[in-house]
Structure 1
Amino acid sequence: MVHSGDLSLSWILYDFGGRRATLDNAKALLSAAQANENAVLQQTFADAAKAYYAAVAAREQLRADEAVVQDAQNSLVAAQQRSNRGIAPITEVYQAQTAYRQAQIAQTRDQGQAMTAQGNLANVIALSPDTAMTLDGLDDTTQPDETFQRSVSQLMAQAERTHPAIVAAEKELDAANAGVTQAKSQGRPTIKLVAQYSQNNEPVQLGLGLPHYPATGHDGYVGIQVSVPIFSGFATSYQVRQARAQVDQQSVAVDKAKQQVALQVWTSYQSLQTDRQNLIYSSEMQSVATQAWESAQRRYRSGIGTILELLSTQTALAQARQQRIQALTTWRYDRLALASALGQLDWNDIDALKSGASPDG
């Protein structure tokens, strides 16, 4: 049986940084991809949180509507009692009845909005819109905490260091810089260590018509190979220019990412500061509106107050309840929005949201 074998070895000793640049480029692109994945997850969770708190606000508004309808019904009963006793005109009954129907209309409208918000939440978390869901109620005793109370300048500086969108842009810039070195190395010499060894047992024949004789051949060498590119039609020059243009483009992308993140942090921070004040004001307003409504009820039943006073305080209380719900849900969402702007949302926040909204059954 005739056989032959070859073994070759080639090892780059020096290529003006081309091999290292190729490795750095691949590592930077991998890091950029991982950071981009993190940024997408942050935004996806923020969108889910927004849909969740919209659904919670709609559900809480329905509960408030029940109280409004009940208050309007009580006002109607009181007006009918006064009219039956002859101490109030029938027009007061009509006014109270109109307010009662308006409360029912608002309740019906909010019921549709609640179902729409719940369907949107289900869609965001990849469920069918008709999935029945259990939502946590709002804690009306919530008080603002000291989270994110550092200066906005400190928060923007922190986001610039750690936000995944900025990290991704910077890693892509590193990859572009490595691409310049890689392109330059294409037009420069390469020094390699090369070695080869071959063996075969092909029979030899001393002459035509003479018999073949068994034989074994060996051949091998070790050496240094220097490859010097002479001319490539200016391809290397064009590749270097293209790589440098990519660096310039990516530098702009880094600056743009920093500006965008800084704006998001600034906007979210200012919204959260406003929310903190609104939490306090909405609580005080609901308390005052409740006292005014209770006082108007007593005055009207005793024959001192008027129907206009009663209905006015009733409307003010309904508005105060709605604004309290809005203040609570907006503050909760804006806390997560600021965490997202900082790039600090983690799996603990995701687990908290999952526990707050779960499919029935």
Structure 2
Amino acid sequence: MRVSVRPCRRGCSPRRVVSTSGNSGMASGGGQGQDAVPVWSGVGTTVLHNVLLANGNLSHTLGFYRARFNPASSSFPHILNSRLSLLLLVWVFSGAASAADPFAVFPRVLPSPAADLRPATACNPAHLSGSITLAQAVERALCANPLTRSAWLASRQRAAELGQANSAYLPEVSISGNVARGGDSLTPNDYTTWQAGIEAQYLLYDFGGRDARSQAAESLLAAALASHDATVRVLYLQTVTAYFNLQAAQAAVIAAREVEASALAAFKAADARVEVGTAIPVDRLQAKTQHTQREIERIRAEGLAARLHGELAALMGDASQNRFTVVDREPAFSQSPDVSPAVDALIEASRTRRPELRAAEATLQAREAGVSSARADGMPRLSAYVNARRQAFDSLETDSSALGLNVTIPLFTGYRNTYQIAAAQTQAALAAVDRDSVANQVALEVWRAYYKLKSENAADSRSSDLVESAAAAEKLALGRYRAGLGILLDVLSAQASLAQARYTQLQTQLGLRVARAELAQAMGELSWDWMEPAQREGMK
């Protein structure tokens, strides 16, 4: 059963019409020519409310619902039912299209923030504990550090922008529709209007603007991928440096404790000689002063090791990770390097390997494409369109369709396009300067790393002799003093020389390892092969 209210001229009362027909269309026979107002259920009312709201045709008065909607009925107008189904189908189709990747741009971005150095499956989120190797530290840093994730997400953003630029090669299709119930003082009865249509547009020619924007997006994606690679390798070097700094700091703590023990032995020897009267009291005071100084140095060394421990943990993505220790077994960074190639050859080789140079070159290409795009914005545009539409005013329905061409010719834009071209050309010139600056910086980094490696290699070869001779001198001076044949000044001087020799040896070992990593980074050769066991044999 359906109930509807038949509108009438002003001055009369609306009449209710009850129909027992099984048709869910319009009341009073359901024909399109009837002017009865349909009555719908609460669910139907809610759906229509949403549709009208989406199309901007919703009446803002509650009287509209009170006069026309009866919650006791469960019918729904056929005229809207079919169109709502069409809108639902379009909504589902558009949602599926938005989740697709028809241009296959996202697979071009590697699935792991660690770039091509490590696969995504290698990233283990578990907290590190116990002794960790350099490979474990670098792997955790590449997977968990926010810098790599940020660069990776920037690459995905550029990939999405490339897909957005390529979408201009496909037509745009849209469906529109609206429905309304209205009336005015000239018409005695209310009336229903609705319309639905589909339209497609396609850009035919724009003097290369579409191609230029696609090329610019392609170049920016290449620049983002290269920048991601550069970020990963810089973080690799930072982690290697932090790891070796922590190693050196831990070794410095051990050396400081040994020096402190030697100073304590000298103090006890001086105290014993003062007690037996073979030394003056000032010897005991000097020895005690020296021992206290070595104790302070040991405390500072322990503090430095703790700070460097936190810095390495922060590079690995979480500064609160402090239950690990580093081990000194990295032969790939400890072997004697080969520094026979000329530095000019190394600089030339780095120009083809450094990702920073690739990023700068790709950015320049993008800016040059931007100049072509700016020029095309001031040229005519030719596009084709096709549409089909059905609309109705109460009982009168009409169909229309069209197929044609659109030509847009900019005549005067207030010199906007002139300045756009000038700005694009300036950006391209700046990108060229940035590329040259990066190339110069790469050459400087190779030059510095090369000569630093040479000097550290030469210094490391002499550091062992330095510690050996200083230890022998300290042992001899302390023995002579205990035997009453030497003076305390000789002991204190020998201990100071030994402490400095051990510190120098630690610094040269650290400098050699870091210099090797810096030269590899400067040349663009720092990769996972440096830490894989299979690659360590024969590495120089």
> What TM-score does the superposition give when structure 1 sets the normalisation length?
0.78
User: Residues 6-37 of structure 1: CA distance to partner in whole angstroms, max 9, x if unpaired?
Assistant: 66665444432222111101111111122222
Structure 2 SS opposite 1:22: helix
Which residue, out of 144, 149, 153, partners 2:344?
A: 153
Structure 2 SS opposite 1:134: strand
Counterpart check, 1:40 vs 2:231: yes
Q: Matches of residues 250-265 of structure 1 in structure 2 within 5 Å?
A: 250-265=431-446
Which residue, out of 443, 449, 469, partners 1:268?
A: 449
Please give the alpha-carbon distance, in whole angstroms, between the structure 2 residues aligned to 1:19 and 1:254: 26
Relative to structure 1, is the Cα distance of residues 109 and 232 closer, same or farther in structure 2, using a 3 angstrom cutoff? closer
Shift of 1:87: 4.4
Q: Matches of residues 133-172 of structure 1 in structure 2 within 5 Å?
A: 133-137=324-328, 144-146=335-337, 150-172=341-363
Counterpart check, 1:58 vs 2:239: no
Match of 2:471 in 1: 290
Please give the alpha-carbon distance, in whole angstroms, between the structure 1 residues aligned to 2:381 and 2:362: 28
Percent sequence identity over aligned pairs: 30
Relative to structure 1, is the Cα distance of residues 104 and 217 closer, same or farther in structure 2, using a 3 angstrom cutoff? closer
Counterpart check, 1:299 vs 2:490: no
Please give the alpha-carbon distance, in whole angstroms, between the structure 1 residues aligned to 2:504 and 2:264: 22
Q: Matches of residues 94-173 of structure 1 in structure 2 within 5 Å?
A: 94-128=285-319, 131-137=322-328, 144-146=335-337, 150-173=341-364
Task: Give the unaligned 5+ runs of structure 1.
Answer: 206-211, 353-361
Shift of 1:317: 0.8
Please give the alpha-carbon distance, in whole angstroms, between the structure 2 residues aligned to 1:233 and 1:184: 15
Shift of 1:150: 3.1
Relative to structure 1, is the Cα distance of residues 341 and 88 closer, same or farther in structure 2, using a 3 angstrom cutoff? same
Task: Select between 42-51 and 268-277 the one with higher mean Cα deviation.
Answer: 42-51
User: Residues 268-323 of structure 1: CA distance to partner in whole angstroms, max 9, x if unpaired?
Assistant: 22222221122112222111112222333443344433322222212111110111
Q: 2:200 touches 2:387 (CA, 8 Å); kept in 1? A: no
Please give the alpha-carbon distance, in whole angstroms, between the structure 2 residues aligned to 1:306 and 1:91: 12
Q: 2:202 touches 2:385 (CA, 8 Å); kept in 1? A: no
Please give the alpha-carbon distance, in whole angstroms, between the structure 2 residues aligned to 1:195 and 1:107: 81
Match of 1:330 in 2: 511
Relative to structure 1, is the Cα distance of residues 234 and 102 closer, same or farther in structure 2, using a 3 angstrom cutoff? closer
Shift of 1:100: 2.3
Which residue, out of 62, 69, 76, partners 2:267?
A: 76
Relative to structure 1, is the Cα distance of residues 139 and 10 closer, same or farther in structure 2, using a 3 angstrom cutoff? closer
Q: 1:300 touches 1:310 (CA, 8 Å); kept in 2? A: yes
Task: Give the unaligned 5+ runs of structure 2.
Answer: 1-31, 33-78, 84-194, 534-540
Could you tell me which amino acid in structure 1 is paired with residue 517 of structure 2? L
> What TM-score does the superposition give when structure 2 sets the normalisation length?
0.55
More helix by share: 1
Could you tell me which amino acid in structure 2 is paired with residue 118 of structure 1? H
Aligned-residue RMSD, C-alpha: 3.6
Counterpart check, 1:278 vs 2:459: yes
Counterpart check, 1:239 vs 2:430: no
Which residue, out of 351, 366, 370, partners 1:179?
A: 370
Please give the alpha-carbon distance, in whole angstroms, between the structure 1 residues aligned to 2:290 and 2:196: 99
Match of 2:107 in 1: none
Shift of 1:229: 3.8
Relative to structure 1, is the Cα distance of residues 226 and 139 closer, same or farther in structure 2, using a 3 angstrom cutoff? closer
Task: Select between 60-69 and 114-123 the one with higher mean Cα deviation.
Answer: 114-123
Shift of 1:253: 1.4
Which residue, out of 483, 490, 512, partners 1:309?
A: 490
Could you tell me which amino acid in structure 2 is paired with residue 181 of structure 1? S
User: Residues 239-283 of structure 1: CA distance to partner in whole angstroms, max 9, x if unpaired?
Assistant: 212211111121111122222222222222222222112211222
User: Residues 41-93 of structure 1: CA distance to partner in whole angstroms, max 9, x if unpaired?
Assistant: 33334333333333322221110012112222333344445455554444444
Structure 2 SS opposite 1:161: coil
Structure 1 SS opposite 2:352: helix
Shift of 1:177: 0.5
Could you tell me which amino acid in structure 2 is paired with residue 70 of structure 1? A
Please give the alpha-carbon distance, in whole angstroms, between the structure 2 residues aligned to 1:329 and 1:250: 38
Could you tell me which amino acid in structure 2 is paired with residue 248 of structure 1? A
Relative to structure 1, is the Cα distance of residues 237 and 143 closer, same or farther in structure 2, using a 3 angstrom cutoff? closer
Structure 2 SS opposite 1:126: coil
Please give the alpha-carbon distance, in whole angstroms, between the structure 2 residues aligned to 1:336 and 1:65: 27
Please give the alpha-carbon distance, in whole angstroms, between the structure 2 residues aligned to 1:139 and 1:185: 57
Relative to structure 1, is the Cα distance of residues 86 and 138 closer, same or farther in structure 2, using a 3 angstrom cutoff? farther
Q: 2:196 touches 2:391 (CA, 8 Å); kept in 1? A: no
**Relative contact order, CA 8 A, sep 6+: which one is greater?**
1
